[in-house]
Amino acid sequence: MSATIESVDAILVDIPTIRPHQLSMTTMGVQTMVIVRIKDSDGREGLGEATTIGGLAYGPESPEGIKLTIDHYFKPQLLGQPADALNTLRVALNRSSRGNNLAKSAIETALLDLFGKRLNQPLAALLGGALHTHLPVLWTLASGDTQRDIDEAKQLIAERRHCDFKLKIGSRALMDDVRHVAAIKAALGDQASVRVDVNQAWDEATAARGMAELQAAGIDLVEQPTPLKDFSALARLSAKFHIPILADESLADATDMYNLAAAGFSGAVALKIAKAGGPLRVLEQAAVARAAGIGLYGGTMLEGTIGTAASLHAWSTLETLHWGTEMFGPLLMKDDIVVQPLKFHDNGVELPTGPGLGIEIDEDKLARYQRK
């Protein structure tokens, strides 16, 4: 007999960032995680995380809204149900509530963690087994200051913590951004791959000019240059330039991936468990991307260790991650709420071992940072 779900808790956790993190739509000084704890009738616990960026600045789900969705809509549906019937529970939640993929991702992650603990297997084993146990991780330079970004990158290269960098641009005038990016690329040279994320800030004409400048400056990848719903702009720009485009906000799930590929887009996709609705769902999207010849990248919503570990388990099962990953979220925060932090070294991170996610909550730290 399968264990049943006995409790579902969604907890808001606020942790300051190590420095301001400047995106085109907001500057973060604190990261808010929604930590989900699901307990079953055998006394086991599964952990999940739903995290967004800058309240409602980045996407339509806020941390407070995610907690409300889980407490008031998902929890009554989940209590008393068999804990390992993941597909049944997903279908039920999808029938009763549209969208809310970040909240659904946290639930799917917690149920997978619980199932892995029940079977005494890591989450990746439930997904068919890991192909990689150490995954490459880039770092985002987003202090807002060119020299500070260069110093930060040089130190991280020297420590072999990261060798690939993404720069957040789009909040300044185009040529100011181009000068900022070109100065960083010139300072780092060939020892680093430098990419940019515009977070939708440009219209198509600005993007065309920007991409030409960035291509000339030696930038390797341009992430989400134009607004998320304009699939045809992404398709046209991807046909016009050699510098590839990474689609991020435009894509949540497998259907979006299919539609963007059908619109003629070529390039790469930022996979994120949060956007897709969980580790199982994101792998469906990866399969569509692969079929369409679109490159894969393990993306983040700047989650803490729980969401990052869940993503790593999913990415570890993908044969090729053409653009690596950006699973550095825990490193952007001043502190952590887990007993054993992830191990970052050699320009990447180790896939955690141990049943489920392989992550344990530090109850004192959680109590310290939990929103009262």
Q: Taking the complex as a whole, how short is the minimal distance between the CB of residue 301 and ligand MUC, in angstroms?
A: 6
Is the Cβ–Cβ distance between 276 and 253 less than 8 Å? Answer: yes
Q: Which of 166, 168, 272, 275 is catalytic?
A: 168
Residue whose CB is less far from ligand MUC, 140 or 250: 140
Which among Mg ion, ligand MUC, none contacts residue 326 (Cβ within 5 to 8 A by kind)?
ligand MUC
Q: Is 197 in the site for ligand MUC (CB under 6 A)?
A: yes
CB 58 within 8 A of CB 32: no
Under rule CB under 6 A, which residues in 50-69 are in contact with ligand MUC?
Answer: 53
- Among this protein's residues, is 326 annotated catalytic? yes
**C-beta of 185: minimal distance to Mg ion in Å?**
19
* Calpha distance 123→279 (Å, rounded): 9
Among 149, 248, 303, 326, binds Mg ion (CB under 5 A): 248
Q: Which helix (H) or strand (E) holds 111?
A: helix 101-119
SS3 content of the chain, % helix, strand, coil (to 5): 40, 20, 35
Closest CA to 328 of 18, 61, 10: 18
The per-residue DSSP string of 167-224 comes to EE--SS-HHHHHHHHHHHHHHHGGGSEEEEE-TT---HHHHHHHHHHHHHTT---EE-
Q: Report, in Å, the least distance between residue 23 CB and Mg ion.
A: 8
What is the spatial distance between Cα 306 and Cα 360, in angstroms, rounded to a whole number?
9
| Closest residue to ligand MUC, based on beta-carbon distance | 140
Q: Please calculate the CA angle 267-129-326 and round it to the nearest 5 degrees.
A: 40
Task: Pick the closest to residue 299 from 234, 247, 368 (CA basis).
Answer: 247
Tell me the per-residue interface mask from 215 to 234 with ligand MUC, x by CB under 6 A, - otherwise. Answer: --------------------
Residues ≥6 apart with Cβ < 8 Å to 132 = 315, 316, 351
Residue 86 partner contact from Mg ion, ligand MUC, none using kind-dependent CB cut-offs of 5 to 8 Å: none
Mark 242-261 with x for binding to ligand MUC (rule: CB under 6 A) and - for no binding.
------x-------------
Name which position in 31, 226, 285, 300 contacts ligand MUC (CB under 6 A): 300
- At 246 the three-state DSSP class reads strand
When asked if residue 302 is in the footprint of ligand MUC (CB under 6 A), the reply is: yes
When the beta carbons of 100 and 199 are compared against ligand MUC, the nearer one is 199
**Cβ atoms of 294 and 265 closer than 8 Å:** yes
- Burial class for 132, CB neighbours closer than 10 Å (0-12, 13-18, 19+): middle
Cβ distance to ligand MUC smaller for residue 238 or 300? 300
6: CB partners within 8 A, 6+ apart: 39, 40, 41, 79
Q: How far apart are CA 334 and CA 341, in angstroms?
A: 12
Q: Which stretch binds Mg ion (CB under 5 A): 74-82, 216-224, 225-233, 271-279?
A: 216-224
Find how far residue 7's CA is from the centre of its chain: 26
Among 40, 149, 164, 197, binds Mg ion (CB under 5 A): 197
State the minimum distance, in angstroms, from the CB of residue 163 to Mg ion: 19
Q: Which stretch binds Mg ion (CB under 5 A): 109-117, 240-248, 254-262, 357-365?
A: 240-248
Residue 303 binds Mg ion, judged by CB under 5 A: no
168 a catalytic residue: yes
Q: How far is the CB of 267 from ligand MUC (least distance, A)?
A: 15
The residue ranges that bind Mg ion (CB under 5 A) are 197, 223, 248
Catalytic residues: 168, 326
The residue ranges that bind ligand MUC (CB under 6 A) are 53, 140, 142, 197, 199, 248, 300, 302, 326
